[in-house]
Every structure is written in C-alpha cells, then in structure tokens.
Amino acid sequence: MSSRRNLANAVRALSMDAVQKAKSGHPGAPMGMADIAEVLWNDYMQHNPANPQWADRDRFVLSNGHGSMLIYSLLHLTGYDLTVDDLKQFRQLHSKTPGHPEYGYAPGVETTTGPLGQGISNAVGMAIAEKSLAAQFNRDGHGIVDHHTYVFLGDGCMMEGISHEACSLAGTLGLGKLIAFYDDNNISIDGEVRGEGDAPSWFTDDTPKRFEAYGWHVIPKVDGHDAGSIKSAIETARSVTDKPTLICCQTIIGWGSPNKQGKEECHGAPLGDDEIALVRETIGWNHPPFEIPDDVYAGWDAKAKGGEAEQNWNSAFQAYAEAYPDLAAEFKRRMAGEMPADWENKASAFIRSVDQKAEKVASRKASQNAIEGYGPLMPEYMGGSADLAGSNLTIWSGSKPLTRSDASGNYIHYGVREFGMSAIMNGIELHGGFKSYGATFLMFSEYARNALRMAALMKLSPIHVYTHDSIGLGEDGPTHQPVEQTATLRMLPRMSVWRPCDAVETAVAWKLALERKGGPTSLILSRQGLPHMQRSAAQLEQVSKGGYVLSDCEGAPEAIIIATGSEVELAMAAQDTLAGQGRKVRVVSMPSCDVFDAQDSDYKESVLPASISARVAIEAGVTGFWTKYVGLGGRVIGLDTFGESAPAPEVYKHFGITAENLVKAVEEVI
C-alpha cells in the first residue's frame, strides 16, 4: 500500500501535468493542499463515487476554485466517472474539466466556484440546509440526515467581503457540521500577501481572531504537510458540534517544486517541462505524465467503502420509512425537487381567489399574500430577508425563525448581508430539500449581483423578492430608487424577471417562480398601492404567458401601449383618454418579458401584431430595453437618469411618467 505522501503526490502529479498540457491553469494550490485533501478524503469523506447524488453524502466545496485540478484529481482517483482522458482535456472546449469547477460538468462537483468567497458562502447554505433538514426529519433512533460540509479556501476568499457576511452568520447559527480548511500559504497572484520588510502587503488580518469573533471554533497553525497534524485537527473539529470550525493550515504553495514552491510564480501558470522533471525527482514520482500506479489507485479507491456507506444508509432509511412513512415520503419528494401532489389545483384556486377579491394593494403586500397562500402547500419554504422584513413583507403566518438552538425553522434573518444571503441561498438550493427565497430592496440587488449570476450559471432556482421597485419609492431619493436594475436583471441569461401590475399578476408570478427549474426568478415589487385590473377567464390564463392583451379596443388597434408594474394603471388611463378622442388603442401588460419571449410565434403575433408599428412602452426605469418591442419608430416613456427625493407622485410628474405624456406619445406615433 502506498504511503500517505505518495497518495498525495498523485494529486500533485496529475495537477501539474494537466496544467502543463493545457498550457494554462493553477498548479500551486493543488500541490500545496494535496496532503490535506488526502487525509480528508481517505479518512473522513462520506461519499459514494457510484452515486454522486446520494442524499446523505458529505459536501465538499473547493472555494479557491482556481485550484480546480485538485478536485478533478480527487474525483478521478476515488472512482468517479472522470477518466484520465477527461483530465487530459483540462480547460478544453466541452470537457468535464473546465478551468474552474462548474456545477453539472463533472460528477461530484457540488457547486461552481471561481469568484472567490462564493464557495465558502455556498457551503454555509449547504450546512444550513443539513442542519434544518436534520431538525425537521430526524427522529429518535433515526438520524437519516447526518453529514458534514467541508470547504477548502484560500487568502483570496478571506479577503473578499462576502466571506465576512457568510461566515459571520455561520457562527451565529452554530453550524457545527461546517468545517473549513484555510490554505494559509501567504501567496496571491501579486506576491506575498503579508509582505516582508519594505515589500507591499495587502492581507495582514489576524484570521484566527477574526473567526473566533464570529463564534467559530478555530484551530491555528496546523502543519498542512503533516498528515498526523491534519488528522488530529479534523478529529478535534468533528468533536465540536455547536459551532463551525476553521482549521488554519500553514502550507507551501506548489510544494515539491524546487524553484517555484512558495512563490507566486506557481500560482497561476504552468511550471514548465524542466521544472516538472525536477518535481518528479524531488518528490520521488517516477512515472510518466498521467500515469498512476495500481497501488496508488487502490489506496484512493472509495467505491467499495462508499457503496457500503450508502447501503447502510438505505437500510436505515427503510427502517425510518417503516416507522414514519409520511415523513419518509415527504423527504424523498423534497430531495427530488418535486412539487406537492395537489399543487396545481390548489395553486390555481388561490389565484382565482385573488382575482375575486379585486384588492388595491402594493405588489409587495400582494407578494406576502402569495407567500401566505402557497405556504401551507410548501413545507420546503426556506425564506428570509437581508433585514427589511417589515418592508419586504416576506414573513407569513407559518414562518418560524431558524436559530442556533432550533434549526427546524423555515425563515432566516440574514441581517444586512445581501451578497451573502444570495450566495447562501444558492448553497441551500444546491443541497436540496428546500425552496429558497430571500428579499431586499431592488436597489440593493447590486450588492448581490455576482451571486445572482452564479445562480443563473448553475441553473439554480432561488426566488429573489425585490421591493421598492422604482422612483415610486419616493422620499428616500436617488440612492434608493432603482432605474437600471430591472433592465440589467432582464439581461442576465436564465434569470426570469417579473414586474407585476397587481395582486393577480403577483400571485401568478409566485406560482411560476415556485415551479421553475433551470434558473432563478426576480420578483420586482412596488411600494405603492396598485389597483386591481379586471380580467376575463381567458386573460387570467394568459398572465402566465408573461405578456397579454389586458384591454383591447373595438376593431383593429391604431396603436399599442406596453406597460409593466405600476405604469399599467397609467396605460389604462391613457387608453381611456384616447378612446374619448376616437382613437383605438390596445393595452398590453408585460409582467415578464422573458416568459413572453419564450411563447410561440403565433401567440406573440396575437398580442403584438407586426402590422401595428405604432407602439409606446412605459416603465419607470431606463428606456433602451424596450426598443425590441416598440421598434426604432416607437416611443418609450421612462427615465435615463437618476431619481429625485420627493413624494412618489411628484417624482413621477417631474420625470414625465404620466398618463398625459403617454397620450401625447401615442398621438405622435399614430
């Protein structure tokens, strides 16, 4: 049997060889963290390479995702469906081994990492999901949810502000099964982060004290190249169950490279053929590139051990199902991401009830009503807000706070952590078992933007509740008034965006968001009250198509007004005025452009006939987006500047977003 060091050297060899073949990549981190990975994966990781989706597997997150060859090497060596040929295709088009770990490409990759700090934040979400699922489903003698979340992260993750947001909350919630390994190698691309002498420095935090202040258990100054020290640290970490643990591993980046270890030279560039030859000699790895001896494969192979672990869990779950059949069925449904059996009928009935009530209400309040209406059907809710719950209106009668002492809750008080919240929501979605929603003011989606992009990239489906959607916010002024945010969210691939005009459209938006797979949803909601719009049964059905004829005229229209959200009321008023002048105008409500765009051509033509070129769009935001619907000869009423502080009606009038100006614009294009 190979020694621990020889097993770790297999990771080093595969990593440097793959990077060299690709002529790009980051060999330093995999070579520096190989010894830590060997102990963790061979002695502690609970996983089954034959079933990467096993519900009770440990989650492993490589937050410093540039070191991707580390995880690819581990997956290959332990027996996942990732071949040597896959490793040889590192960083090549359509390979399973892209430059950074991408969720859905290689089996065993739990999340996409690369933007530093988001991996550890995803891991916090996974650990929250594990703790809450355990509290909701485990019963005496039946611990069907019992696994750890392990994270590797480096100096870059520590420097990113999102790590503060997520790790602070992790300590507050006492996530005892979250164990992070800090690769303290003092190196980033620019050199030594702590500097020496007169050299510049940019990361001199006392990291152990920082994490102790968060409420973490911290194990400092662990020799990251000594298996015994690493094993002892992991044992200690696993024994502390009331708080997360940070293991500070002092390592040498590029360990084994005689001329480049400990230097930024090996961080993000191939070592070169000559240096690789020296590495082989230095570490005693006398094998050609990509060749792994049988005894090394045998030392890493986790298939038998993993298969046995999953079989033991399956037997335990069977006993659980016999004792608690309803809970077992619910667990399986939720982990499979399936909607409740009675969902469609009850959800549709709720929408009809909203239509019948015909309430004038702010869409943020209509959103809360929708959360309440669907809540009894959705035990998988995991809601939250980045503070502002009283304004975002995300708490419903069934909300129960998730706390350090009671993780059975379904609502997270994220605090003022918009970016952290959004990345944590991604982790909750990745773990499975919950439908995650989180809220803030639309303006502050800017803080969270990269986590939204990551959700879309990974085809995750969290729901983002964004209230105070426009200059209708009023007195808080331009710092809080979003004007470009809705448009830029619409530009994000796979992001579905809804800006409903009343309670009915809000209820439909929530239904589709809860059902959606393959991408996140942003709900853009008003502060001010919005009147109910009368609809026929056919129109009620058409709301789910994203755009529909809300109010038509007799005969063929001369012009079409397209509106969203609070501006639909203005469109209806303008139509009424124009009708009094003998003008035939159609009003189209377009709560979701992406959903409308996905409809078949016949339906889109029925709503926006190509023969009617006289078109005006109105939305209290930037105007450029709407050209695709109104054409170069159309008009768009909005604002291409920032807002002003004043009561909302005055701000609307100041910027000319009025029914009167809408009438003038229609007259100009007819």
Largest separation between any pair of C-alpha atoms in the chain? 91
Backbone angles phi, psi at 84, to 5 degrees: -60, -40
Sheet containing 435-441: order of strands: 411-413, 381-385, 435-441, 463-467, 521-524, 496-498
User: What CA–CA distance (Å, rounded) separates 335 from 149?
Assistant: 17
User: What CA–CA distance (Å, rounded) separates 224 from 34?
Assistant: 9
386: its two tokens:
């980045």
Residue pair 29/154 in contact by the 8 Å Cβ criterion: yes
DSSP 117-143: THHHHHHHHHHHHHHHHHHHH-BTTB-
Range 139-144, long-range pairs (CB < 8 A, 24+ positions): 139/320, 139/323, 139/324, 139/327, 142/316, 142/319, 142/320, 142/323, 142/324, 143/316, 144/56, 144/313, 144/316, 144/317, 144/320, 144/331
Beta bridge partners of 61: 151
Q: Counting runs of H as helices and runs of E as strands, what totals does the chain give?
A: 27, 20
DSSP 154-184: EHHHHHSHHHHHHHHHHHHHT-TTEEEEEEE
DSSP state of 383: E
Beta bridge partners of 154: 183
User: What CA–CA distance (Å, rounded) separates 395 from 392?
Assistant: 9
DSSP 37-74: HHHHHHHT----TT-TT-TTPPEEEESSGGGHHHHHHH
221: its two tokens:
């100054």
What are the CA-CA distances from residue 77 to residues 45, 63, 181, 297, 543 (Å)?
14, 20, 21, 6, 51
Angle at CA 378, nearest 5°, toward 374 and 380? Answer: 145
- DSSP, collapsed to helix, strand or coil, labels residue 647 as coil
Residue pair 548/589 in contact by the 8 Å Cβ criterion: yes
- DSSP, collapsed to helix, strand or coil, labels residue 104 as coil
User: What CA–CA distance (Å, rounded) separates 367 from 317?
Assistant: 37
Length of the chain measured in residues:
670
Work out the number of other CB atoms within 10 angstroms of the CB of residue 291: 13
Beta bridge partners of 150: 60, 179
Catalytic residue among 130, 165, 380, 418: 418
User: What CA–CA distance (Å, rounded) separates 618 from 21?
Assistant: 54
Is 660 catalytic? The answer is no
Q: Which positions are catalytic? A: 418
